Amino acid sequence: MTPQARSGPLSDLRILDLTQALAGPFGTALLGDLGADVIKVEPPNGDMSRGLPPRPPDEESCDYGGYFASINRSKRSIVVDLKTEEGRELVLSMAEHCDAVVENARVGVMDRLGIGYDVFKERNPKIVYGAIRGFGDPRTGESPYATWPAFDVVAQSMGGFAAINGPKDGSGMPAGTSTGDIYPGTLMALGLLAAVHEARRTGEGQFFDVGMYDAVLALSEIIVWNYSYNQNVVTPRGSGHPMLCPFDIFPAKDGAISIAALTPKQWKRLCEAMGREDLIKDERTKNPVARTAHREFTIGVVAEFTLAHTRAELVAMLGGEVPLGPVNTARDVFDDPHTAARNMLPEVELPGENPTVQLPGTPIKFARTPGGIQNRPPNLDEQRAEILSELGLVDPVPGGEE
């Protein structure tokens, strides 16, 4: 899909995407879904995630798997070898036609290649340069860990997130999804839009970064104010909440369900469904403070009730009256009418003789300028001629291949 045909509120934005792996590509995919023209610049062998499984049946026609597809939808691909002078010059020339450039290399890598922020700025003073680093970039604040490599689990651990997850009395546990990548990528997208807004107002771009450690710390805000106010170190909370009750995941006949009955009306309705109207005024359960103080008793009563019913029965009894939700597996999510109504699992065609697949839809919904997956994930270097022609650039590589 050409930039002119893209939908969404960011259809006037062009981004040069030098990111790989997960954090950066996730953030730029969000921007692409909202209409931005995201030009994915890849090394000759492609993004390191291209070949990861699961792979489609027709692998000859489609050179990427599900991991790559999920976070590189709504983008166009061009191969550029940044280790060559011609490649670096091509990227700088492309940047003259872009609003922003994004990368997630380690500190100093792009500068040593000769295409750091200062070089891009010389070619395009309005350029916004976004970087995702494990521990931030020295340009915005020196960290003793600045040169350390970092992956998702490291960010979750050092940022305080892992320490508050998992079974009670445990030593911590990372999330089931790559929070240490996904959240920094999300914040990068937000920061990029803020910086482009400011650049269009002033005519001057700038450098910004998101440290994975910093992003996870911001996400784990509960540990900060607990410790700052009274030196309370928050520990793994299990499936419940340290200050609210019931606010937990409870067993059901066929799985589990979350229930959060906090207001007097919600607690009353739950008690009625349980056949325990006596608990509405019981000193142990009459208000949130009492229920939290007598957590084991409260949780035990609710768990005894939920275990006697299926998730569907509980939803039928309490849905819409008491905040609750079944603990959904992927199969449940795919079968849920909500995801269809909200277009959260759109079907996307793959190259060649492959069946359609479903990818995550954009959770940011606009009434007047709706976004969504703009085009299927690209094969490596698929839009090379198209991109260079639009930008009025001559391909420095004979035959158009790096």
Greatest CA separation for the chain: 82
Q: What is the CATH number of domain 247-335?
A: 3.30.1540.10
pLDDT of residue 400: 53
- Give the CATH fold of the 3-219+340-400 domain: Rossmann fold (3.40.50)
Say if residues 56 and 346 touch (Cβ distance below 8 Å).
Answer: no
What one-character-per-residue DSSP string does 11-43 give? TT-EEEE---TTHHHHHHHHHHHTT-EEEEEE-
Structure tokens at 109: 């890598």
Angle between helices 179-202 and 23-33 (to 10 degrees): 50
CA-nearest of 345, 334, 317, 178 to 257 is: 317
> How many Å separate Cα 146 from the centre of its chain?
23
What one-character-per-residue DSSP string does 256-307 give? EEEEE--SHHHHHHHHHHHT-GGGGT-TTTSSHHHHHHTHHHHHHHHHHHHT
Distance CA 88, CA 82 (A): 5
Question: What are 29's strand-pairing partners?
Answer: none
Can you give the pLDDT of all 402 residues of the chain as single tens digits?
Answer: 566 588 999 999 999 999 999 999 999 999 999 999 999 999 999 999 999 999 999 999 999 999 999 999 999 999 999 999 999 999 999 999 999 999 999 999 999 999 999 999 999 999 999 999 999 999 999 999 999 999 999 999 999 999 999 999 899 999 999 999 999 999 999 999 999 999 999 999 999 999 999 999 999 999 999 999 999 999 998 999 988 999 999 999 999 999 999 999 999 999 999 999 999 999 999 999 999 999 999 999 999 999 999 999 999 999 999 999 999 999 999 999 999 999 999 999 999 999 999 999 999 999 999 999 999 999 999 999 999 999 999 998 766 544
Active-site positions? 181
Q: How far apart are the first and last CA of the chain?
A: 23
Say if residues 33 and 362 touch (Cβ distance below 8 Å).
Answer: yes
Say if residues 387 and 39 touch (Cβ distance below 8 Å).
Answer: yes
Say if residues 129 and 121 touch (Cβ distance below 8 Å).
Answer: yes
Domain ranges of the chain: 3-219+340-400, 247-335
* Burial class (CB within 10 angstroms; exposed 0-12, middle 13-18, buried 19+) of 150: buried
Distance CA 305, CA 317 (A): 12
pLDDT of residue 399: 60
**pTM value surpassing 0.85:** yes
